[in-house]
């Protein structure tokens, strides 16, 4: 859909549709969700929905892009307050896990995207990897970490964040326990050998 300039009220309505879609896609799944259900729960007319999105897939794609942008921004802000590579990474994980407590449906929605649009699914993870790769390259240049392949390390870091968040925040609906966070950081920065 072409970009149109929206009023403040229009932006709020559009965001209300996205927030409602996040809830319903997370609860029921993409294929079981209808535009009618999104509009009914959002309290907007179906015609209003079409002022902002042409299809259900379009709102789904925008939702994933918005969620990705939102948590990446929160991570960036948290990391900017730190100076060392290790402190930045710790702050980034904390920021992600905190953000995730308010967006637990992220896991369900992203996993659905593999069936809805494989390119979107890949984009989501590649976008996250870009930030990690840049930070790892900078750390290698500063001799703050071993000169390993930055992409390999990035995807390892992503896997740790993905599954720690899934296990505690998504499945258990709690915050990541301090001892779990500390052990994950121990593995990242010191490995598992004695």
pLDDT for position 194: 77
pLDDT for position 4: 61
The total number of residues written for the chain in this structure = 194
Model confidence pLDDT, tens digit, residues 74-98 = 999 999 999 999 999 999 999 999 9
Helix axes 56-80, 106-116, angle to 10 degrees: 130
Superfamily grouping for domain 1-54: Homeodomain-like (1.10.10.60)
pLDDT for position 6: 81
pLDDT for position 155: 98
pLDDT for position 3: 52
Residues 20 and 102: beta-carbon distance below 8 Å:
no
Superfamily grouping for domain 57-190: Tetracycline Repressor, domain 2 (1.10.357.10)
What is the domain partition of the chain in residue ranges?
A: 1-54, 57-190
- Model pTM above 0.75: yes
With CA atoms as reference, report the closest residue to 74 among 28, 43, 109, 106: 106
Residues 95 and 131: beta-carbon distance below 8 Å:
no
* Separation CA 73–CA 33 (nearest Å): 28
pLDDT for position 2: 43
Q: What is the pLDDT along the chain (194 residues), one digit of tens a residue?
A: 445 678 999 999 999 999 999 999 999 999 999 999 999 999 999 999 999 999 999 999 999 999 999 999 999 999 999 999 999 999 999 999 999 999 999 999 999 999 999 999 999 999 999 999 999 999 999 999 999 999 999 999 999 999 999 999 999 999 999 999 999 999 999 999 87
SS3 assignment for 82-150: CCCHHHHHHHHHHHHHHHHCCCCCHHHHHHHHHHHCHHHHHHHHHHHHHHHHHHHHHHHHCCCCCCCCH
* Separation CA 68–CA 129 (nearest Å): 12
Residues 100 and 176: beta-carbon distance below 8 Å:
no
The two tokens of residue 8 are 């403040």
The two tokens of residue 84 are 């060392």
DSSP letters spanning 141-179: HTTSS----HHHHHHHHHHHHHHHIIIIIIIS-SPPPHH
């Amino acid at each position: 859909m072409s970009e149109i300039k929206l009023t403040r009220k229009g932006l709020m309505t559009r965001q209300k549709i996205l927030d409602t879609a996040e809830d319903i896609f997370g609860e029921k799944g993409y294929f079981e969700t209808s535009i009618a259900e999104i509009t009914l729960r959002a309290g907007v007319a179906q015609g209003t929905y079409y002022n902002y999105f042409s299809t259900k897939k379009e709102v789904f794609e925008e939702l994933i892009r918005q969620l990705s942008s939102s948590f990446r921004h929160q991570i960036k802000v948290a990391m900017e307050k730190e100076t060392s590579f290790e402190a930045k990474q710790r702050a980034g994980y904390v920021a992600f896990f905190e953000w995730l407590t308010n967006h637990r449906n992220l896991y369900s929605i992203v996993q659905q995207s593999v069936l809805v649009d494989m390119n979107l699914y890949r984009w989501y993870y590649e976008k996250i990897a870009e930030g990690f790769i840049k930070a790892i390259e900078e750390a290698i240049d500063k001799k703050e970490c071993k000169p390993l392949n930055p992409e390999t390390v990035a995807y390892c870091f992503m896997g740790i964040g993905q599954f720690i968040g899934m296990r505690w925040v998504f499945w258990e609906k709690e915050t990541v326990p301090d001892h779990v966070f500390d052990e994950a950081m121990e593995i990242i920065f010191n490995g598992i050998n004695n």
